[in-house]
């Protein structure tokens, strides 16, 4: 066998196609080095450096424009869909970073590793969003997961943090196993791991009866379902979310979900027209179960972090509605919702972080009592985020749900839309419960003083709030962007 000649042009194109990821990885590695020489009291520089890396990466995405660039023999592609998800992921990462310095200092966990782990995980997510080969997606998934396991257990002095990390790690390892096994089976049945080829094969009637192929698709779905915490693969979520440092929880809830959905959308959306009915039914049931179980469980929580964890499960169900409905509208609605979700959920976690003051017992719902009129700005922001999570106009959460359920109705799944809206009516109860505590129940004794936010922290909160309002009132341009992104996949 002759040695494969080095194709310099292809290599350059490949490197160009992963430019935004490269920038993030480079930042992560430089931070590790800077951290070694930096004195303890100057660690905040690292946060700034990470933000610069993110900004460069975002600029690269902007400069690369909407053109499709595929690289490494079709293992990754830079296209509209990838760009949209990278923006969502990088936005979530930037918001997290803005909150992180203050938080880490309060908790006494201010370490340079935190930032580089966060950035490495982000780069994994970006690869996952751009992967067009199941192997790339798997590698992206692992690159995102392993730093996250560490970050969940970052508070090594707290039992709940360690417990959450261990649980997440064990179940996550199983999920990765399922995913890899699914990829292997699909490869055995079809001889390829490339998504475009697999996607066209999904239409093939011969494969419909091939148990190996079906088992492969099933295992793959289990792996993804675990990462986006669809019911019944959600068991780890409440514990990991509760145990993790709250900044990490905020990051996980928005960014990990976006990355895993990116891969799911790449895999499923082009095929849904001719999707095997069995597969469709499975997704339908998963979506209904996820919405319903997530919301009903959230009703019973007295710990705000845990409640938001269940709410995040329910939201995965809503986003799946868009995917089940399929079509351009369905995909676009899912994309839009993931972006909106990043803003409103990270925003909500941010405010809660300030009010709670310390991990674990600080997140008891009773701590919110009396905050409302004592700290009107904080309480107002949290109310806005909760109202948006509940899907009440004129916030972005409403527009997002409107498009998700529109997609369902358009494609004939009226039942799914009805279940969805009833679920959002249920969810109103627990979101409003926080509002009740803030505004309507007087505190027992003194109202605890929230942590004074740093400027960066306030900036993150205000930016999220502005995004929630702007996307709720003039969603037009972002919706159009989401539409172009989905079209770039389907064309």
Partner 1 sequence: MTGITALLSTNLLTVLIFFPLAGVLLLFLLPRNDPRLLRNVTLIVTLGEFLLSLPVALAFDGATAAMQFVSRAPWIPAYGIEYHVGVDGISLWLVMLTTFLMPIAILSTYAAVEKHVKEFMIFMLILEVGMVGVFLAVDLFLFYIFWELVLIPMYFLIGVWGSERRIYSAIKFFLFTFAGSVLMLVAIIALYFHHYEVTGVYSTDLLRMYAIDIPVKLQFWMFAAFALAFAFKVPMFPFHTWLPDAHVDAPTSGSVILAAILLKMGTYGFLRFAMPLFPVAAFDLMPVVSTLAVVGIIYGALVAMVQKDMKKLVAYSSVSHLGFVMLGLFAFNLQGIEGGILQMINHGVSTGALFLIVGILYERRHTRLISEFGGLSKVLPVYAAVFLIVTLSSIGLPGTNGFVGEFLIMLGAFKTTRLLTVFAATGVILAAVYMLWMFQRVMFGKVTNEKNLGLPDLNAREVAYLLPLLVMIFWIGVYPQTFLRKMDASVQATVVRIEAKRQAALSGRPAGETLFARYFNVGK
Using the rule CB under 8 A, is 55 a contact of partner 1? no
- Rounded to a whole number of angstroms, the minimum distance from the CB of residue 405 to partner 1 is 6
Using the rule CB under 8 A, is 486 a contact of partner 1? no
Using the rule CB under 8 A, is 328 a contact of partner 1? no
- Rounded to a whole number of angstroms, the minimum distance from the CB of residue 441 to partner 1 is 7
Task: CB nearer to partner 1: give 14 or 380.
Answer: 380
Task: CB nearer to partner 1: give 124 or 372.
Answer: 372
| Listed ranges 89-97, 224-232, 256-264, 407-415: which one lies at the site for partner 1 (CB under 8 A) | 407-415
Task: CB nearer to partner 1: give 59 or 429.
Answer: 429
Using the rule CB under 8 A, is 96 a contact of partner 1? no
* Residue 18: other Cβ atoms inside 10 A: 21
In 244-276, where does DSSP find H-type helix? Answer: 246-251, 257-268
Q: Is residue 32 classed as helix, strand or coil in its secondary structure?
A: helix
Q: Which of 58, 282, 421, 463 lies at the binding interface for partner 1 (CB under 8 A)?
A: 421
Q: Are 76 and 131 in contact (CB under 8 A)?
A: yes
In angstroms, the CA 270 to CA 485 distance is 13
| Listed ranges 115-123, 127-135, 237-245, 404-412: which one lies at the site for partner 1 (CB under 8 A) | 404-412
| Listed ranges 77-85, 148-156, 205-213, 427-435: which one lies at the site for partner 1 (CB under 8 A) | 427-435
CB-count burial class (<10 Å; 0-12, 13-18, 19+) for 56:
middle
Bond prior to 175 in cis (omega within 30° of 0): no
| Listed ranges 9-17, 198-206, 237-245, 402-410: which one lies at the site for partner 1 (CB under 8 A) | 402-410
| Listed ranges 54-62, 262-270, 283-291, 433-441: which one lies at the site for partner 1 (CB under 8 A) | 433-441
| Listed ranges 5-13, 152-160, 194-202, 421-429: which one lies at the site for partner 1 (CB under 8 A) | 421-429
User: What is the footprint of partner 1 within residues 340-379 (CB under 8 A)?
Assistant: 372-373, 376
In angstroms, the CA 109 to CA 191 distance is 48
Q: Are 316 and 252 in contact (CB under 8 A)?
A: no
Task: CB nearer to partner 1: give 349 or 481.
Answer: 481
| Listed ranges 85-93, 150-158, 310-318, 432-440: which one lies at the site for partner 1 (CB under 8 A) | 432-440
In angstroms, the CA 113 to CA 99 distance is 16
Q: Long-range pairs for 270-275 at CB < 8 Å and ≥24 separation? A: 270/199, 270/489, 270/490, 271/199, 271/202, 271/203, 272/323, 272/324, 272/326, 272/327, 272/330, 273/326, 274/202, 274/203, 275/202, 275/326
Task: CB nearer to partner 1: give 235 or 377.
Answer: 377
Q: How many residues bind partner 1 (CB under 8 A)?
A: 33
Q: Which residues contact 94 (CB under 8 A, 6 or more apart)?
A: 51, 54, 55
| Listed ranges 73-81, 177-185, 191-199, 476-484: which one lies at the site for partner 1 (CB under 8 A) | 476-484
In angstroms, the CA 265 to CA 77 distance is 14
Q: Which of 34, 64, 296, 432 lies at the binding interface for partner 1 (CB under 8 A)?
A: 432
User: What is the footprint of partner 1 within residues 304-323 (CB under 8 A)?
Assistant: none
Task: CB nearer to partner 1: give 118 or 399.
Answer: 399
In angstroms, the CA 155 to CA 242 distance is 12
Using the rule CB under 8 A, is 487 a contact of partner 1? no
Question: Helix axis angle, 80-107 relative to 44-64, nearest 10°?
Answer: 170
Task: CB nearer to partner 1: give 184 or 392.
Answer: 392
Please report how many Cα atoms fall inside a 13 Å half-sphere around the Cα of residue 261, on the Cβ side.
38
Q: Are 92 and 39 in contact (CB under 8 A)?
A: no
Using the rule CB under 8 A, is 406 a contact of partner 1? yes
What is the H or E stretch that residue 109 is in? Answer: none
- Rounded to a whole number of angstroms, the minimum distance from the CB of residue 332 to partner 1 is 10
- Rounded to a whole number of angstroms, the minimum distance from the CB of residue 383 to partner 1 is 8
CA distances, 135 to each of 128, 251, 368, 393 (Å): 10, 25, 46, 41
Q: Are 406 and 333 in contact (CB under 8 A)?
A: yes
Using the rule CB under 8 A, is 425 a contact of partner 1? yes
Instruction: List 77's β-bridge partners, or say none.
Output: 70
Q: Which of 138, 405, 457, 481 lies at the binding interface for partner 1 (CB under 8 A)?
A: 405
Q: Which of 440, 449, 462, 490 lies at the binding interface for partner 1 (CB under 8 A)?
A: 440
User: Quick one: which of 366, 323, 359, 318 has its CA closest to 160?
Assistant: 359
DSSP sequence for 320-358: HHHHHH-HHHHHHHHHHHHHHHHHHHHHHHHHHHHHH-S
Task: CB nearer to partner 1: give 156 or 476.
Answer: 476
User: What is the footprint of partner 1 within residues 113-142 (CB under 8 A)?
Assistant: none
Residues that bind partner 1 (CB under 8 A): 372-373, 376, 387, 392-394, 398, 402, 405-406, 409-410, 414, 417-418, 421-422, 424-425, 428-429, 432, 436, 439-441, 474-476, 479-480, 483
């Amino acid at each position: 066998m002759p040695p494969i000649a080095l194709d310099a042009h292809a290599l350059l194109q490949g490197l160009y196609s992963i430019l935004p990821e490269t920038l993030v990885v480079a930042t992560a590695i430089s931070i590790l080095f800077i951290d070694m020489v930096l004195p303890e009291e100057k660690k905040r520089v690292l946060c700034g450096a990470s933000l610069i890396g993110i900004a460069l990466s975002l600029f690269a995405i902007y400069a690369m424009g909407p053109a499709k660039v595929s690289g490494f023999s079709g293992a990754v592609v830079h296209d509209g869909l990838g760009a949209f998800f990278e923006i969502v992921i990088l936005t979530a990462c930037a918001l997290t970073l803005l909150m992180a310095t203050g938080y880490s200092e309060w908790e006494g966990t201010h370490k340079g590793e935190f930032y580089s782990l966060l950035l490495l995980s982000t780069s994994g997510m970006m690869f996952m969003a751009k992967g067009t080969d199941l192997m790339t997606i798997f590698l992206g998934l692992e690159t995102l997961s392993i730093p996250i396991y560490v970050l969940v257990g970052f508070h090594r002095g707290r039992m709940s943090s360690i417990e959450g990390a261990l649980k997440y790690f064990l179940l996550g390892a199983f999920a990765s196993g399922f995913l890899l096994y699914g990829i292997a089976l699909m490869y055995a049945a079809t001889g390829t791991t490339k998504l475009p080829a697999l996607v066209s094969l999904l239409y093939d009637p011969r494969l419909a009866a091939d148990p190996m192929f079906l088992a492969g698709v099933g295992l793959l779905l289990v792996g993804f379902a675990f990462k986006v915490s669809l019911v019944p693969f959600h068991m780890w979520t409440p514990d990991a979310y509760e145990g993790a440092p709250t900044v990490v929880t905020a990051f996980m809830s928005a960014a990990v979900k976006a990355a895993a959905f990116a891969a799911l959308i790449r895999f499923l959306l082009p095929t849904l027209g001719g999707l095997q009915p069995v597969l469709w039914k499975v997704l339908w049931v998963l979506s209904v179960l996820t919405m319903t179980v997530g919301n009903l469980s959230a009703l019973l929580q007295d710990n705000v972090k845990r409640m938001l964890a269940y709410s995040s499960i329910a939201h995965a169900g809503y986003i799946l509605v868009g995917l089940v409905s399929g079509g351009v509208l369905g995909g676009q609605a899912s994309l839009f919702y993931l972006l909106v979700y990043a803003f409103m959920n990270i925003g909500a976690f941010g405010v809660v972080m300030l009010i709670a003051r310390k991990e674990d017992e600080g997140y008891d719902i009773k701590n919110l009592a009396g905050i409302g009129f004592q700290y009107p700005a904080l309480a107002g922001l949290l109310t806005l985020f909760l109202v948006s999570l509940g899907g009440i106009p004129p916030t972005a959460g409403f527009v997002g749900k409107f498009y998700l359920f529109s997609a369902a109705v358009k494609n004939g799944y009226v039942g799914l839309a009805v279940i969805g809206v009833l679920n959002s009516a249920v969810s109103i109860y627990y979101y409003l419960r926080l509002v009740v505590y803030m505004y309507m129940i007087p505190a027992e004794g003194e109202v605890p003083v929230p942590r004074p936010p740093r400027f960066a922290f306030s900036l993150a909160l205000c930016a999220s709030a502005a995004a929630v309002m702007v996307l709720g009132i003039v969603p037009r341009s972002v919706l159009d962007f989401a539409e172009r992104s989905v079209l770039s996949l389907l064309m």
